Amino acid sequence: MIKMDKSYLIILLPLVILLCYWQDRPCQTTVGQAHSRITSLNRKSKINIGQACRRIDEYVLRPGETFSFNRVVGPRTYERGFVAAPTYLGNGTASTEGGGVCLVSSLIYKAALESGLKIEERTPHSRTISTVLPGLDATVWYGRQDLKFKNETNEPVKIQCKANFYSVDVSILGSKNALSRRIIRKENPASATQVAVAVYLQKGDALEPVSQDLYDRTRNN
């Protein structure tokens, strides 16, 4: 029988505990993600996108908590580093402070759907946009329209949000035991000028309805 010196046990025990924690640590597996290229966007839109991403990146949503895009990003004002950039307003496009951040909220929405987080508030755009597939967009307007979702799991999740001159990448990290959902989109013409989009989450062989949206397809940006 091999005898082990007590001094070795004192050294090894913390290492074993640390190894067990490392293997079971939360936020180690990508459970939802989204990507968009932004080379076609203007410089001011990219500034706003970067400002929003920096405020969200590495945000941890604990069990039972609700993520609010407007609360985390805050007011889109000049004083906080945002600039005027193109924004959808009604049937037109205007230049407003923070224009472009809806791309960030849309990518987070798509990643949250895949992660199985409960969507509590989401508003689609009135028109299709070139950077996000119809049905997977989420418009935000501070004080009016928000993107909210709740973590109903027993583990925290972390939102990573990275932007550079070329693209934006969003990842939601969760437990290694978490199950990602597959998003199914069904797009059909509703009229000569509109398109209807239905979104579902696939769970096994079942499809869970998520949204039914109607977009003006004649005003694509």
Q: For the chain, which residues make up each domain, given as ranges? A: 26-177
In a structure prediction context, what are the per-residue pLDDT tens digits for the chain, which is 221 residues long?
Answer: 445 555 555 665 555 544 444 444 677 899 999 999 999 999 999 999 999 999 999 999 999 999 999 999 999 999 999 999 988 776 677 789 999 999 999 999 999 999 999 999 999 999 998 899 999 999 999 999 999 999 999 999 999 999 999 999 999 999 877 677 899 999 999 999 999 999 999 987 889 999 999 999 855 44
- What is the DSSP-derived secondary structure letter of residue 115? H
Helix, strand, or coil (residue 177): coil
Which burial class, exposed, middle or buried, applies to 143 when counting CB atoms under 10 A from its CB (0-12, 13-18, 19+)? exposed
With beta carbons less than 8 A apart as the criterion, state whether 94 and 86 touch. Answer: yes
